Amino acid sequence: MLIDFEVENFRSYREPKRLSLVASPSREPPRNLTRLDGLEMALVRTAALYGANASGKTNLLSAMNTLSELLTSPMNREILAHLSILPFALDRSSATKPSKFRIRFSLPNGVLYEYFIAVRPEMIEEERLIAYPLGRAQEWFDRKAGQIDFNKTYLKGAKGPLREMTSPSVPLLAVAGAFGHPQLSPPALWLVNNLRDRFASVDPRIRRVRRRVGGAEVTARLCHENPAFRKWVNAFLRHADLGILEVEIEVTEFKVEMPYAERGPDGSVVHSVRDEVAEHHSPYFVHSGDEGFTAKFNVSAESHGTRRLFGMLAPLFEVIRDGQLAVVDELSASLHPSLVRQIIRVFHDPELNPNGAQLLFSTHDTSLLSHKIFRRDQIWFTEKTPAGSTDLYSLYDIRGVREDESFENGYMRGRYGAIPFFGQFDFPRLPEGPKEALEEQSQSSP
């Protein structure tokens, strides 16, 4: 479970800014909370990000996704060049400093971890992992300026190969996770799986050909393979009042060319291509009409909102089933506010979310700003400073905000900040004159 995340010198974040899912010590009802086994700590199940356009909401989620990508491809020595790790660009000094990410999280075994990494576009400058079994800090490794120090007391297993395989541009934790280190793999895999963008899916079984797979197809495939998931999807769609009775899946096969290598009789490596059979899963939605009449529609005939909701269901199901974290940029896009409330309710309900899954999302939907939905420590704001950097703070941090007041009214009045201020529009007037004269003037202009 995510405890907190801090970012510094990344895109619009110049100073260190921390998002915390630790419940505040307020007297608000303990709803929407989950407790960590073995730790004296309560966490909120959801957190919502509000702010004006270009204020830094997406940049915060991008920082989390970047950390996940850093740990995903350890054997790609050019990974830093592809990630576009951009330091803050609106002053002279930030460009010469590394981008920094610090995160605390807990695994189902109850162990808390703290991971820190400082990254330049060409190298890893610092990296550190601290574990807290039984609440006591154990620094497992520390990396600075190319020097890697392992704690021989707490970190078991072979360490020399890890040091040899870790290049200057690759995180050590990524290498350890890829090669199955018994102690380092669990935290590495958590960071890869929980911070990534789950809604831009690539089918892992055909990842080698880089075939992009839409969310609807991923959900359809899982419906075909997992009857329990299909039942869950049908119940969700009926509950969403979309007029859908159930979903049916049509499977078609196609051939793809897959590269492979094998050794020839003389021991040399021979590279070739062979055909493999892949499957395409197309969803069809059964709608009800008058007098029991039904009809099937393919996904292209459905509204954009229905298609987006259907594409979200596979990652949402996996998150809730496994007690993970879902990071969603613009959760409310194309979805009715009542439907968004139902998604949030699933995360808040201990019976529907028994494993403590969490949801972190950005939105502009102010109708969700209610004490009936969120505690004050679940609502976060991003705001641009005069220097162009992002400030990040929660509603709980603002003095004088009562737990039962109208959060939406306070936000729209500008009491909490984080809203755009337009001032007086000063647009140029449209040119006056006959249409023909304006067209001649436009054609004669250089």
Reported for 83-90, long-range contacts at CB under 8 A and 24+ positions apart, including other chains, are 85/10, 85/119, 85/120, 85/121, 86/10, 86/11, 87/9, 87/10, 88/9, 88/10, 88/11, 88/12, 88/13, 88/14, 88/389, 90/14, 90/387, 90/388, 90/389
pLDDT category of residue 348 using cuts at 50, 70 and 90? very high
DSSP bridge partners of 358: 325
Contact 350, 381 (CB under 8 A): no
Distances (CA, A) of 157 to 130, 151, 173, 288: 17, 11, 14, 60
Q: Which amino acid, one-letter code, is at 58?
A: T
Give the C-alpha separation, 88 to 259, whole Å: 41
In this prediction, residue 443 carries a pLDDT of: 65
Q: What is the mean pLDDT of residues 363-386?
A: 97
Distances (CA, A) of 222 to 218, 310, 315, 341: 6, 12, 10, 25
Residue 345: pLDDT over 60: yes
Contact 104, 4 (CB under 8 A): yes
Give the C-alpha separation, 159 to 144, whole Å: 16
pLDDT in tens, 210-269: 334 468 889 999 999 999 999 999 999 999 989 999 999 999 998 887 777 777 777 777
Residue 205: pLDDT over 80: no
How much of the chain exceeds pLDDT 90, in percent? 71
More confident residue, 79 or 97: 97
In this prediction, residue 246 carries a pLDDT of: 96
Q: What is the mean pLDDT of residues 12-27?
A: 96
| Average pLDDT over all residues of the chain | 89
353 in helix, strand or coil?
coil
Give the C-alpha separation, 15 to 21, whole Å: 20
Distances (CA, A) of 232 to 6, 13, 264, 316: 35, 40, 50, 11
Residue 201: pLDDT over 50: no
In this prediction, residue 36 carries a pLDDT of: 83
In this prediction, residue 422 carries a pLDDT of: 63
Residue 203: pLDDT over 60: no
pLDDT in tens, 52-96: 999 999 999 999 999 999 998 776 656 676 777 899 999 999 999
In this prediction, residue 276 carries a pLDDT of: 85
Give the C-alpha separation, 194 to 170, whole Å: 20
pLDDT category of residue 22 using cuts at 50, 70 and 90? very high
438 in helix, strand or coil?
helix
Give the C-alpha separation, 161 to 181, whole Å: 11
DSSP-derived letter for residue 254 is E
pLDDT in tens, 389-419: 999 999 999 999 999 999 999 999 999 999 9
In this prediction, residue 107 carries a pLDDT of: 95
Contact 259, 275 (CB under 8 A): no
pLDDT in tens, 298-332: 999 999 999 999 999 999 999 999 999 999 999 99
In this prediction, residue 52 carries a pLDDT of: 95
pLDDT in tens, 100-149: 999 999 999 889 999 999 999 889 999 999 999 988 999 999 999 889 99
Residue 207: pLDDT over 60: no
In this prediction, residue 115 carries a pLDDT of: 98
More confident residue, 272 or 176: 176
Residue 208: pLDDT over 70: no
